[in-house]
Amino acid sequence: MKTILVTRSSMPPMEEYIEEVRPLWESHWLTNMGVEHRKLEEGLREYLGVSNAALFTNGHSALECAFEALGLGKDGRDEVITTPFTFASTVHAIVRKGLRPVMADVRPSDYTIDPVSVESLVTERTCAIVPVHVYGNLCDVDAIQDIADRHGLKVLYDAAHAFGVRKNGASAASFGDASMLSFHATKVFNTVEGGAVCFRDPALGSELARWRNFGIEGPEDVACSGGNAKMDEFRAAMGVCNLRHVDEEIAKRARVEERYRERLEGVPGLKLIAPQPGVEHNHAYMPVFFLDSFGATRDGVFEALAEEGVGARKYFYPLVSDFACYRGRLDSSRTPVARGAAARVLCLPMYADLAPEDVDRICGIVLSCGGRG
């Protein structure tokens, strides 16, 4: 029985990567913003169509440093509105920076944060909104920016799922005051581990540089209690190589998603997220929502796939607000749409080289669970 993992990391040809890193054996410059680091930053700015980008060792560190650079909480306002339908990192970063997460519900159309819910939660203590682009689907960026402008709030997007996504030609990384990108091995574009912050105000660049490098401002001056969040040259080189192939990777993922939709779209009891108008998608994930009318539960389908050697992921489950570390502090009953989605979603295997016959096999197992083989 062939095992199919839920995802598989994209990698360039080995020879290409070896040639990219070969000069490091001559320079011995392995970290601290060397040639590969600068090459990747420049390449990302060009590919994403943004003016400013800073690299980090991972997306989580990028998020924490961005909170510091934006000065969140420094004026006495400490509430940050975000969503519980996200990966742990989003909320953990807020809490670890001494801020208070406030949970807005999500939209049933695409499970991104609901601007109506956000507006209802703004108080005199609110300092920022941290919306999350989910599965490569974009938040309502115009409505969120309108709320932020009217209330004097910062907007920092968790765009971990949205690399390469564009809305009417504008990069997902260009919205808000800043956007955090994750380059983890499971993402559409990876540097093995890594991340970036794309930002609007050039002045934010020096702040981010300090916070990712121990607060160092000069050879004899340390301006703040920063950490160590620099990307090394080997990871940057992986990014340089992968960036050359990312459009091809996205095109392959599009064909995989098309095959899934041919088999699953319109099946009673299954819900697939409809493509967003004007949005160029990156086909990062293949979420399927199982309704009561399907004839089998999400958990039942998950177990059936596992028995056949197929990996799937309940993503996002549980909600962040149901984590043990947030019990008594956050309440998932206040976000019923998100709670319902978490109980029903299953992300099926998705990666560029997933074969059509494997997609057919996966869909066959899913459909047989609901008596629709």
Band of the pLDDT at 371, cuts 50, 70, 90?
A: confident
DSSP 96-112: HTT-EEEE--B-TTT-S
Cβ-contact 65, 211 below 8 angstroms: yes
Mean pLDDT of all residues in the chain?
Answer: 97
Strands 154-158 and 126-129: parallel
Q: How far is CA 107 from CA 22, 112, 203, 212, 317, in A?
A: 48, 6, 34, 34, 17
Contact 25, 160 (CB under 8 A): no
pLDDT at 216 over 80: yes
pLDDT of residue 373: 65
pTM: 0.97
Mean pLDDT, rounded, for 58-83:
97
Has domain 14-240 been given CATH number 3.40.630.40? no
Amino acid at 123: T
pLDDT in tens, 136-185: 999 999 999 999 999 999 999 999 999 999 999 999 999 999 999 999 99
Determine contact, residues 260/286, Cβ cutoff 8 Å: yes
Residue 303 has pLDDT above 90, yes or no: yes
Domain with CATH 3.40.640.10 in the chain: 14-240
Separation between Cα atoms, residue 319 and residue 251, nearest integer Å? 31
CATH of domain 247-369: 3.90.1150.10
Does pLDDT of 372 surpass 80?
no
191 vs 56: CA distance, rounded Å: 10
Q: Answer whether 260's CB lies under 8 Å from 234's CB.
A: no
pLDDT grade, residue 313 (50/70/90)? very high
pLDDT grade, residue 2 (50/70/90)? confident
CA distances from 179 to 16, 34, 63, 65, 192 (A): 30, 24, 9, 12, 20
Which residue type sits at 16?
E
What is d(CA 144, CA 140) in angstroms, rounded to the nearest whole number? Answer: 6
Q: Would you say the C-alpha torsion 8, 10, 13, 16 has a positive or negative sign? A: negative
State the average pLDDT over residues 36-43.
98
Write out the residue limits of the CATH 3.90.1150.10 domain(s) in the chain. Answer: 247-369
Predicted local confidence at residue 218, as pLDDT: 84
For residue 136, what are the contacts with CB-CB under 8 A and spacing of at least 6? 161, 162, 165, 188, 281, 282, 283, 284, 285
Query: What Rg value do the Cα atoms of the chain yield, rounded?
Result: 21
